[in-house]
Amino acid sequence: MEKINEKTKENKIWLGKDGIVRIKVGKVIDEKVIKRIINDYKEITRKFSTKQKILIDIKSSTPIPSSLFRKKVVESLKDAYREPGFEKMAIWGGSTVLRVITLFIVKATGFKNIKHFETEKEALQWLKEDQSRF
């Protein structure tokens, strides 16, 4: 199943052949985009009895650098963690500013199973590691 934002054709979420839920965030990343992605994630994963691994590509994104945006993203991630949940989330790419914002958000959630990586290769490697190692 693949979901694409019909308005912008930029944001995309799908279940990869490797069983990893893949999310590609387009240029615009705001509260509405985050909410739509999480709703699509819930729809895709509701048929699974196990928690999924998630790979998020933010290399083309430009965030809103406000504290309210960061707070809303933290709340949204916590909501997604409760229902339906996820095993691990790897976020990769992005400008220096976006990486700093992402690291702040990850730290604010308090989750140990979310990490940011420079490259997709590093992110996939971490996702495929044994759960007990992190």
90, β-bridge pairs: 55, 115
Question: CA neighbours within 13 Å on the CB side: how many for 21?
Answer: 26
pTM, rounded to two decimals: 0.80
CA dihedral 89, 92, 96, 101 (to 10 degrees): -20
Tens digits of per-residue pLDDT, 55-66? 999 898 876 667
Asked whether the predicted pLDDT for residue 11 surpasses 50, the reply is yes
Phi, psi of 55 (to 5 degrees): -120, 120
pLDDT of 4 > 60? The answer is no
Quick: pLDDT tens for 82-117: 777 789 999 999 888 888 888 888 888 888 898 999
